[in-house]
Structure 1
Amino acid sequence: MDKKYDFQKSEKQLRIFWEENQIYKYGQGKERPVYSIDTPPPTVSGTLHIGHVFSYTQAEIIARFKRMQGYDVFYPLGFDDNGLPTERLVERDKKIRAGQLPRSQFRNICVETIETYETDFRGLFQKLGFSVDWDLSYQTVSSLSQKISQRSFLNLVKMKKAYRKESPVLWCTQCQTSIAQAELDTLELESSFHYLNFKTSLGDLLIATTRPELLYGCVCIFVHPQDERYHKFIGKMATVPLYDFEIPIMADEMVSMEKGTGAVMCATFGDSTDVSWYQTHQLPYKKIILPDGTISGEVPYIGGLEVNRARQRMVEELKSRDLLVRQEAVSHSVAVHERCGQAVEIIPSNQWYIDVLTEKDRFLKAADEISWHPAHMKKRYQIWVENLKWDWCISRQRYFGVPFPVWYCKECKEPIFAEEDQLPVNPLEEMPGKACSCGCTQFLPEEAVFDTWATSSVTPFINAGYGEDFDRSKEILPMGMRNQAHEIIRTWAFYTIVKSLYHTGEIPWKDIMISGFVLAKPGEKISKSKNNSSNSPLALIETYSADAIRYWAASNKLGTDTFFSEDEMKGSRRFLTKLYNAAKFTIMQLNDYEQKEEFDPETLLPIDRWMLERVSETTGVVKKLLDDFEIGQARHEIDDLFWRDFCDYYIEIVKERLYQPEKHGVRERYSGQYGLYYSLLGILKLYAVYTPFITEYIYQDFYRSHEEMLSIHQTIWERREANKIYLEFGEQVKELIGTVRKEKTEKQLSMKDEIPELIITSSKRFREFFKATKLDIQACTGAKKVMIRS
């Protein structure tokens, strides 16, 4: 081994070695059972940051672990490169606006842009040592993905689970598109209650509203049926201030008697409660807010103004006419679009939906059929499903996305759906292959595209080639694992479960592994859109090594958020140096080591057996933890084995025996060599899932000439129960040596200083073990004389 480990040279060489020898090639389950992983395709919306490294590395560790348990691991990594996030990236990078260019020209620019980003993404993951089979890679904008997405949609239409209707929809006025409930965030904003008197035949009815710009859209006033203050008003009419038209006063249990004055104006539409009342009570619709975020020109006083300016203008008008009773500062939650932070409006629009509300019980039951890691993340999913208020709106009024395979008849307006053999199809460029049932042959194309989640939700089917000639659904579905961040439980996890249940009747994966975030500051995650990460992953790899970053990424409890500082790399660097030096020392003692077929491991000295049993014990514990996806706790178990048992104790105990066979005996030296060989190999196998480069380097430098497998990553972890008697003996020896070390420290002696006599009190059970270890203990403690007594 080199005097010092050159990670920059070694990591590059080993990446080439893995690729040339197809170490991570998926074998289609021909020789081993399949373990399939549904990896999140990173969204092409900016540069990858340390947060991606953190979560993706945790999942990659599981892929390596499963491979070393004997599985044929199906491990793809795709790219989510269609839809609004990619559009916004291209607009930002190229300083253009999608709507100002021909769609085909904008699409070409998007394709060129994503190619550059995806090359960078792939390069980063490769430098991190990801054991991905890149032949399985995919793009959500590719022809295959489009075909499978469109096939999914058409099947849902046939099942009557996908439908189109004109109804109130969540709308982002900045992105100029409909959005789904799952794309909402909430912000706590400072606002004002504006108190207004609505005239009735029984006197004034005082109402507080935060949205006076919607006065012209008032269609009703609601009070709670049990609110005694307003019993007499129910069924009467009220006059809207400033506009002087009448609206009915009605009762509904959704009214909060404590909020405002307890009497609420319903306008079309201020919030989702207005929508519910509009639908339940069959109220009229009055157009106020337009798709571009301005007020309709038909609205007196404020027509044509942007919403916030219209609110200010309305307050001014009310004040000038002495119609504003008072104002009161309030803080309230406002729904905003997660992509841009713009406050969301609700407007009527013709959109495509997938029915999720009628199957909520089915989706809740599915949560119990999936193992959640950590377990408490299941509750987030359940709360989301229980609180769904809208069907899933899947159409977006955008440009770069998967087209709907739909046209509309010019005569009867009925939708015409593409045939299977037309997929993938772009209705803007192609026409249906048949006439409408009414006989008309002229059609209008659907111009909307799928919500990006409508494509991402079929990643298990894209991986399986669902419905294609090479369909491997039986091979990989349901998938073994889905890994993802906790923020997209309500989107990616939920939508994938929906699609899987509808299409196959089964859950999409058996386990779901939920990672935490890397935070830029308390409460703010590092994200591509905010560009709030100061640490470039590539620069960190160049400075500290991929192994160092991976070792750090495995330090946290699953599902918990963390901060990142370059100081974290000091611990990683210290570990890698320690592992390299320990391996170098071990291999120096094994220069003349040869595996003897006739050697019986039962004849090993007890302390050598202890070390091997500790490796077996730790392997069992780590396997159980990694089966539960607890990579942080598992790494700490390996660290304890390596730092304490192997380095602090075992190496120090056997050192003299290796150096001085003339004193200890040739057979005894071989026992120590055997113990070192297999304990280090076992430790390297355990660390291989965390730090693949340095463990492979050590394996290739020495073990490759002794072991059968070409790569350490093709080896299998040992599976056997550890012998407890040797484990107990080892703990006694550690306690003994630890006591001697403590005594020397307290007496300010060097660890090399001799002590005249060491008396060991042993039970009959371990007496022979201590006798066989006497010379090792004597050498390790510096004792001139060792006495063993009962």
Structure 2
Amino acid sequence: MVIFNPEDKRYSHLKGKTAITPVFGKEVPINAHPMADIEKGTGLVMMCSAGDLSDIRFFREMKLEPVIAINKDGTMNEYAGLLKGLNVNEARKKVLKILEEKKLLVKQIKTTHRTPICERSKDPIEFIAMPEFYLKQIKFKPKMREFAKKINFFSPQSRQILLDWIDSVSIDWPISRRRYYATEIPLWYCKKCSSPVLPPKGGYYRPWKEKPPVKKCSKCGGTEFRGEERVFDTWFDSSISPLYILKWSRDDKFFRSAFPCTLRPSGKEIIRNWGYYTILKCYLLTGKCIFKDHWVNYHVVDEKGKKMSKSKGNVIDPKEILDKFGAEMFRLWTVVEGDLTRTDFRCSDERIEGEGKFLTKLWNISRFISMFPKPKTPGKMKPTETDKWILKEANTLVKLAREKYEKYDFHTPVTKIKHFLWETFASHYIEMVKSRAYNQERTFSRGEQDAALETLYGVLETMLKLLAPVLPFIAYRIYMDIWGRDIHSEKFPVEQSYKTGIPTAELLDINSRIWKAKKDRGLSLKADIQQVTIPEGFRCVGEDLKQAHHIKELRYGKKLEIIL
């Protein structure tokens, strides 16, 4: 059929008429249809049986009977007439030659076409109509949209990928394939009447090489059968995975108590197949939505930003990464490099190796703290204002980690925990309380010293528990060495309240400026400072600052002043 857009006045006079094909001399009806693009080419479009997906959709919509002129081997068949036996490219060249010989070729120009190609061979794909098994899905699109809006997506932006796919579905699901390797369709057919034979459920069958489970056809009495050679679409198999996990049809009590599945983790590229088809198939079998949450990850791409593919030869072998850097370093990198639920990021050996510095830092922090005696009765000491400040900062991370982990967000809390441990805890708090923890000059009371030790151990213990889901091995080793217990059997930290008015940014600025002043004068950080004036609001941490920076005279005023 030849079509033009209903709004295209140039061709309205052709509606209801017929065109004659120049090579075969067949009459083709002309009609108006919105699929024709006024701005594209001449505005007239010849819709054939299987030129591309648009043709296929058009034929299905118009309920036209397709004429397939291409064999499975890519050669033209009897419907192609004088082109029979030629491959597709040869047939195209011959058609062009015939048009030239008949002087019917008005103009010949190079144009760019959107042509589907094979992902691996890059050869053009030709569509051929073949009988397949289909599972109804069009009628269930409203229910699928309802479920897509009901499921919690992490991150929420991934929900649109599923909604867009549901909207694009225009035919029922073809669940059979003609491949060598896949799950066989368990069917046999009577050679006499073609009646199908189904085997008992629960087994795995290979009809193409096994005998059927019956000796005679129940309809005609035939005794010869042929096995089904087609196989199932991969997603038809894997879409049953959550029901298998929930022991559906095998343990009703377990199924009822465990339904629905809490989580479906998947890559963004398979939301439209594994995610969608699982929701569809499980709904058809149970009448319910199978998932509560859908955790979607984007891709780790190569260093040039390209998706890894065996055919492109740019696949980075994860075993090589693990052998080179270890699982902890690689896992930490995947968490802090970027939010993989929102965007792709590039694989970089240099950046993976860089995360090893934090693991070393964590190990060294733990070794330093473990040099001091552990508090015998944790929670009994009264923390100083300096201790309250760091405990408040740590508990902010406990709250953040609980909230984000429950939403499958590891990037946000771990990035902040990493910064806290390295910068705030190690670089500032530990430096501020070293003198109190050692207390060699007996400047502090025993209670103040014990408060420092309890805080050091307490913050380390909390941070290890927060990091354990991401750094399970190093967290286990450190925790076992210090506390003698398996950290993965411990309870997750619970947020506690610590009231202090110490502003973190200003306190860190005071430390940094004092250290910088010494460095600028070429002095050791342990060198004495004659006099320092700090803002009045920091009087409560004054003694820790005085001892940490070796200040001979500490005064309080409106702003920081340093006299070396």
TM-score of the pair, normalised by structure 1: 0.66
The answer to whether residue 438 in structure 2 is matched with residue 438 in structure 1 is no
Report how far residue 299 of structure 1 moved. 2.0
What does 1:276-315 correspond to in 2, within 5 Å? 276-315=57-96
Report which stretch shifted further, 536-545 or 487-496.
536-545
Residues 537 and 438 (structure 1), Cα distance of their counterparts in 2 relative to 1, 3 Å cut: closer
What does 1:708-723 correspond to in 2, within 5 Å? 710-723=485-498
1:567 aligns with: 350
Report how far residue 282 of structure 1 moved. 4.3
> What letter matches 2:493 in structure 1?
E
What does 1:102-121 correspond to in 2, within 5 Å? none
Q: Deviation digits for residues 632-685 of structure 1, max 9, x if unmatched?
A: 222111012101221011110111122224332332222111111111111111
2:551 aligns with: 783
Aligned length: 553
2:476 aligns with: 696
Report which stretch shifted further, 561-570 or 743-752.
743-752
Report which stretch shifted further, 747-756 or 642-651.
747-756
1:762 aligns with: 536
2:253 and 2:100 mapped to 1: Cα distance?
68
1:111 aligns with: none
> What letter matches 1:244 in structure 2?
G
> What letter matches 2:513 in structure 1?
T
Contact 1:336 1:344 in 2 (8 A): yes
> What letter matches 2:528 in structure 1?
E
Report how far residue 629 of structure 1 moved. 2.3
2:429 aligns with: 650
2:115 aligns with: 334
Contact 1:486 1:559 in 2 (8 A): no
Q: Deviation digits for residues 606-626 of structure 1, max 9, x if unmatched?
A: 222322232221111122122
Report how far residue 301 of structure 1 moved. 4.1
> What letter matches 1:693 in structure 2?
F
What does 1:156-555 correspond to in 2, within 5 Å? 220-338=1-119, 341-420=122-201, 423-428=203-208, 429-433=210-214, 436-442=217-223, 443-469=225-251, 472-520=254-302, 522=304, 524-533=306-315, 535-555=316-336
Structure having the larger proportion of residues in strand: 1
1:145 aligns with: none
> What letter matches 2:453 in structure 1?
Q
1:677 and 1:352 mapped to 2: Cα distance?
64
2:562 aligns with: none
1:679 and 1:658 mapped to 2: Cα distance?
14
2:371 aligns with: 588
Report how far residue 536 of structure 1 moved. 3.1
2:527 aligns with: 753
Provide the secondary structure at the position in 1 that maps to 2:128.
strand
Q: Deviation digits for residues 31-51 of structure 1, max 9, x if unmatched?
A: xxxxxxxxxxxxxxxxxxxxx
Report how far residue 357 of structure 1 moved. 1.2
Alignment counterpart, residue 774 of structure 1, candidates 536, 542, 550: 542
> What letter matches 2:526 in structure 1?
K
Provide the secondary structure at the position in 2 that maps to 1:610.
helix
2:290 and 2:121 mapped to 1: Cα distance?
31
Q: Deviation digits for residues 351-403 of structure 1, max 9, x if unmatched?
A: 11111111111111111111111211111111111111221111011232212
> What letter matches 2:363 in structure 1?
Y
Residues 330 and 476 (structure 1), Cα distance of their counterparts in 2 relative to 1, 3 Å cut: farther
> What letter matches 1:659 in structure 2?
Y
1:684 aligns with: 464
Residues 774 and 248 (structure 1), Cα distance of their counterparts in 2 relative to 1, 3 Å cut: closer
Contact 1:617 1:722 in 2 (8 A): no
Report which stretch shifted further, 518-527 or 502-511.
518-527
2:41 and 2:513 mapped to 1: Cα distance?
72
Residues 327 and 721 (structure 1), Cα distance of their counterparts in 2 relative to 1, 3 Å cut: farther
Provide the secondary structure at the position in 1 that maps to 2:212.
coil
1:512 and 1:404 mapped to 2: Cα distance?
30
> What letter matches 1:257 in structure 2?
I
Residues 561 and 263 (structure 1), Cα distance of their counterparts in 2 relative to 1, 3 Å cut: same
Provide the secondary structure at the position in 2 that maps to 1:335.
coil
Report how far residue 327 of structure 1 moved. 2.0
The answer to whether residue 424 in structure 2 is matched with residue 637 in structure 1 is no
Contact 1:407 1:432 in 2 (8 A): no
1:728 aligns with: 502
Report how far residue 586 of structure 1 moved. 0.9
1:560 and 1:580 mapped to 2: Cα distance?
31
Residues 244 and 713 (structure 1), Cα distance of their counterparts in 2 relative to 1, 3 Å cut: same
Report how far residue 347 of structure 1 moved. 2.1
1:83 aligns with: none
Provide the secondary structure at the position in 2 that maps to 1:559.
coil
Provide the secondary structure at the position in 1 that maps to 2:113.
strand
Residues 665 and 309 (structure 1), Cα distance of their counterparts in 2 relative to 1, 3 Å cut: farther
> What letter matches 1:711 in structure 2?
D
1:600 aligns with: 380
Contact 1:465 1:471 in 2 (8 A): no
Residues 410 and 543 (structure 1), Cα distance of their counterparts in 2 relative to 1, 3 Å cut: closer
The answer to whether residue 449 in structure 2 is matched with residue 666 in structure 1 is no
> What letter matches 1:574 in structure 2?
K
Contact 1:613 1:727 in 2 (8 A): no
Contact 1:288 1:299 in 2 (8 A): yes
Report how far residue 224 of structure 1 moved. 2.8
Report how far residue 713 of structure 1 moved. 1.6
Q: Deviation digits for residues 129-160 of structure 1, max 9, x if unmatched?
A: xxxxxxxxxxxxxxxxxxxxxxxxxxxxxxxx
> What letter matches 1:405 in structure 2?
P
Q: Deviation digits for residues 486-515 of structure 1, max 9, x if unmatched?
A: 111111111111112212222222111111
Residues 289 and 727 (structure 1), Cα distance of their counterparts in 2 relative to 1, 3 Å cut: farther
User: Bigger radius of gyration, 1 or 2?
Assistant: 2
Report how far residue 337 of structure 1 moved. 4.6
1:609 and 1:225 mapped to 2: Cα distance?
75
Report how far residue 446 of structure 1 moved. 1.8
Residues 236 and 738 (structure 1), Cα distance of their counterparts in 2 relative to 1, 3 Å cut: same
Alignment counterpart, residue 622 of structure 1, candidates 363, 378, 401: 401
Q: Deviation digits for residues 262-308 of structure 1, max 9, x if unmatched?
A: 12112222123323443444434323112222222552343223323
Report how far residue 554 of structure 1 moved. 0.7
Q: Deviation digits for residues 435-486 of structure 1, max 9, x if unmatched?
A: 5552434433221110111111111112223212487323433222111111
Provide the secondary structure at the position in 1 that maps to 2:421.
helix
TM-score of the pair, normalised by structure 2: 0.91
Q: Deviation digits for residues 65-104 of structure 1, max 9, x if unmatched?
A: xxxxxxxxxxxxxxxxxxxxxxxxxxxxxxxxxxxxxxxx
Residues 309 and 520 (structure 1), Cα distance of their counterparts in 2 relative to 1, 3 Å cut: farther
Report how far residue 721 of structure 1 moved. 3.9
Alignment counterpart, residue 612 of structure 1, candidates 391, 396, 403: 391
2:303 and 2:415 mapped to 1: Cα distance?
26
Q: Deviation digits for residues 732-763 of structure 1, max 9, x if unmatched?
A: 54343233234434555442222112233334
Residues 303 and 552 (structure 1), Cα distance of their counterparts in 2 relative to 1, 3 Å cut: same
Contact 2:533 2:555 in 1 (8 A): yes
Contact 1:301 1:314 in 2 (8 A): no
Report how far residue 727 of structure 1 moved. 6.4
2:326 and 2:59 mapped to 1: Cα distance?
60
Provide the secondary structure at the position in 1 that maps to 2:207.
coil
Provide the secondary structure at the position in 1 that maps to 2:116.
strand
> What letter matches 1:576 in structure 2?
L
1:79 aligns with: none
> What letter matches 2:371 in structure 1?
M
Residues 789 and 275 (structure 1), Cα distance of their counterparts in 2 relative to 1, 3 Å cut: closer
Residues 634 and 726 (structure 1), Cα distance of their counterparts in 2 relative to 1, 3 Å cut: same
Contact 2:375 2:450 in 1 (8 A): no
2:561 aligns with: none
Report how far residue 418 of structure 1 moved. 2.8
